[in-house]
């Protein structure tokens, strides 16, 4: 009976030893080599650390990537899932006029083989409107409404004041000597009108630029 127990203990010990030793002798698959055509992002884009004022503050995201086999790289930037790429460059500049939460990421792909691509981390940027900016926007809208009739009035004054000069210049340009002969009978009327209206036209141009 004792021999039987010793034999069982020996068998159990051998079984345990084999169980522990087998993984050491088991064949393991070699690690899979990365595809040399697959882009690799070496520096992830980083967003601003603070909230940004809409319409007044902007930011730039930049990514760094490489392709082991030396193929050319292309970049496609996204804002809230929408492609906002302007140029095929490793950076994105944004300045939003509307407050809210915006999410940005970039897709880096192999230009020679677009099937190989990788996506960066997503960056969250919050734009807000301060009370001062909100009031400024209201006053700007009011000023635009008030100045519209003023701008319209000076535009019409400018157009009317330029009419005599335009008529005289047009006849001279189209008719040459004949146009000059046509203008001579009207010169007593046109010359005073041009002398009077030309300063008005210059004043109109000044106020049109001002408003």
Domain-embedded: residue 154: yes
For the cut 90, the answer to whether the pLDDT of residue 116 exceeds it is: yes
Q: Cα–Cα distance between 193 and 201 in angstroms, integer?
A: 12
On whether both 96 and 57 belong to a single domain, the answer is: yes
The token pair that represents 173 in the structure block: 């340009």
Domain-embedded: residue 62: yes
Q: Which tops the pLDDT comparison, 178 or 108? A: 108
Average of per-residue pLDDT across 116-128: 93
Q: Cα–Cα distance between 43 and 12 in angstroms, integer?
A: 54
Q: Which tops the pLDDT comparison, 110 or 164? A: 110
Residue position matching structure tokens 């969250």: 124
Q: Cα–Cα distance between 107 and 73 in angstroms, integer?
A: 10
Average of per-residue pLDDT across 169-197: 63
pLDDT over 70 for what percent of the chain? 56
Domain-embedded: residue 145: yes
On whether both 60 and 120 belong to a single domain, the answer is: yes
For the cut 80, the answer to whether the pLDDT of residue 192 exceeds it is: no
The residue among 85, 102, 129 that closes a domain is 129
On whether both 124 and 137 belong to a single domain, the answer is: no
On whether both 91 and 124 belong to a single domain, the answer is: yes
Q: Tens digits of per-residue pLDDT, 43-93?
A: 999 888 888 988 888 899 999 999 999 999 999 999 999 999 888 899 999
Q: Which tops the pLDDT comparison, 206 or 128? A: 128
On whether both 120 and 196 belong to a single domain, the answer is: no
What is the number of domains present in the chain?
2
Average of per-residue pLDDT across 169-177: 62
On whether both 124 and 174 belong to a single domain, the answer is: no
Q: Cα–Cα distance between 145 and 36 in angstroms, integer?
A: 61
On whether both 52 and 104 belong to a single domain, the answer is: yes
Q: Tens digits of per-residue pLDDT, 127-148?
A: 998 877 777 777 777 777 776 7
Element (H, E) at 118: strand 117-119
Q: Cα–Cα distance between 71 and 36 in angstroms, integer?
A: 9
Domain-embedded: residue 111: yes
The residue among 114, 129, 144 that closes a domain is 129
Query: What residue numbers bound the domain in which 107 lies?
Result: 40-129
The angle formed by the CA atoms of residues 45, 47 and 50, to the nearest 5 degrees, is 165
On whether both 50 and 121 belong to a single domain, the answer is: yes
Residue 92 · residue 106 · CB < 8 Å: yes
On whether both 125 and 44 belong to a single domain, the answer is: yes
Instruction: Give the mean pLDDT of the chain.
Output: 76
195 half-sphere exposure, CB direction, 13 A CA radius: 6
- Read off the CATH number of the domain in which 120 is found: 2.60.40.10
pTM assigned to the model? 0.53
On whether both 125 and 162 belong to a single domain, the answer is: no
Domain-embedded: residue 88: yes
| Closest to 20 (Cα-Cα) out of 32, 8, 12 | 12
Domain-embedded: residue 115: yes
For the cut 60, the answer to whether the pLDDT of residue 9 exceeds it is: no
The angle formed by the CA atoms of residues 131, 133 and 137, to the nearest 5 degrees, is 115
Q: Hey, is 130 helix, strand or coil?
A: coil
Residue position matching structure tokens 């630029």: 209
The residue among 129, 150, 183 that closes a domain is 129
């Amino acid at each position: 009976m004792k021999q039987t127990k010793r034999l069982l203990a020996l068998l159990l010990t051998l079984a345990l030893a084999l169980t522990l030793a087998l993984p050491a002798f088991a064949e393991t698959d070699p690690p899979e080599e990365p595809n040399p055509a697959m882009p690799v992002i070496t520096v992830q884009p980083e967003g601003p650390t603070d909230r940004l004022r809409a319409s007044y503050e902007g930011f730039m995201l930049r990514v760094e990537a490489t392709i082991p086999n030396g193929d050319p790289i292309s970049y496609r930037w996204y804002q809230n899932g929408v492609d906002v790429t302007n140029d095929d460059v490793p950076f994105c500049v944004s300045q939003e006029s509307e407050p809210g939460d915006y999410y940005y990421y970039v897709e880096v792909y192999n230009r020679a083989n677009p099937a190989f691509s990788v996506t960066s981390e997503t960056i969250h940027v919050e734009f807000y409107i301060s009370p001062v900016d909100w009031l400024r926007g209201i006053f700007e809208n009011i000023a635009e409404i008030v100045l519209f009739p003023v701008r319209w009035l000076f535009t019409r004054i400018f157009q009317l004041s330029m009419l005599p000069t335009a008529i005289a210049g047009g006849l001279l340009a189209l008719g040459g000597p004949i146009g000059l002969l046509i203008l001579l009978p009207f010169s007593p009327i046109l010359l005073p009108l041009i002398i009077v209206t030309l300063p008005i036209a210059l004043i109109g141009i000044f106020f049109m630029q001002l408003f």
